[in-house]
Amino acid sequence: MDRMKPARSVTRRSALAACVAAASTAALSSCVPSGSAASSEAPKKGLAQYGFWMDSRVCAGCASCVAACREANSTPDDCEARRRIISYVFDRGESRFVSVSCMHCAQPACVAACPAGAITKRADGIVEVDQSRCIGCKYCHASCPFGVPHYTSLGMDKCDCCLGAGIKPGKDPYCVQACPAKALQYGKLEDLHRRAEEAVGKVGLLESPTEPSFYLT
C-alpha cells in the first residue's frame, strides 16, 4: 500500500490552526488508514465509551461538519472550531480527508495534565471541560498528542460531543448530523466497531498512548 503523506489543513483559520493541524497530522499520519498502526482489539463488550468512526473513503472534504460544529456550539469567530479537516495525499496522488476533533481518549492526557481539575472523563467516556475552573495554563494542549484543546476568552474549549449544545449522550451530535456522505459516525465503540467492520473488514482503534476512541478507515 502507498504511504500517505499529510498535505494541508483545509480549515480556514489562522496560523494557530496550522500548528494544531500539524500536531494532529504528525500523530495521525502513521495511522491513516492502512490499519497497520491501529489496535487490533475489539472494544470490551458493554464498555461505556462513546466515540467516532471517520470513514475517509467517502469523505469529500466539504467541511459541513466543521461549520455545523461552529454554529451549534457558538464558537467565537476568533477561535478555532472544535473540529477540523486534514487532507492526505497518497504517493500515487489519491487524496483523502480526515475530520478530527477530541477523541475522548480512554487514558486522556489532558485530564492528567490539568492542575485545576477542570477536565473530567464522565462515566460514559465523554471528556469535558469546566471553563469556570480553567486557569489558562494550556498544559492540556501541550499534553494532548493531537493538539486538540484550544482557547477562548472563557478558557479551554474542545469537543464535548455537543452536550453543551443540548445533545443527549448517545444521540448524533451536530457534526455527524451535518455530514452528507455519512463519513462521520458517532456512538458506542462496540456499535462503531461492528458498523466499520461490516463496511470495510477488520478495523482497530487509532493507536496512541492515550487510547483514542476513534476508528479511522
Give the footprint of ligand SF4 on this chain (CB under 6 A). 68-69, 72-73, 82-83, 101-105, 108-110, 113-114, 116, 118-119, 127, 129, 134-140, 144, 146, 148-149, 155-156, 158-162, 173-175, 210, 212
Residue with smaller CB distance to ligand SF4, 90 or 124: 124
Write out the H or E segment, with its range, that includes residue 83: none
213 within 8 A of 205, measured Cβ to Cβ:
yes
104 within 8 A of 210, measured Cβ to Cβ:
no
Residue with smaller CB distance to ligand SF4, 1 or 132: 132
- Nearest approach, Cβ of residue 82 and ligand SF4 (Å): 4
Cα separation, 105 vs 126, whole angstroms: 8
Residues in the chain: 217
Residue with smaller CB distance to ligand SF4, 26 or 135: 135
54 within 8 A of 99, measured Cβ to Cβ:
yes
- Nearest approach, Cβ of residue 8 and ligand SF4 (Å): 20
- Nearest approach, Cβ of residue 60 and ligand SF4 (Å): 17
The three cell numbers locating residue 43: 472494544
- Nearest approach, Cβ of residue 90 and ligand SF4 (Å): 25
- Nearest approach, Cβ of residue 113 and ligand SF4 (Å): 6
| Dihedral over Cα of 74, 78, 83, 84: its sign | positive
Residue with smaller CB distance to ligand SF4, 157 or 193: 157
- What distances in angstroms separate CA 16 from CA 20, 105, 167, one per listed residue? 6, 23, 29
Residue with smaller CB distance to ligand SF4, 29 or 90: 29
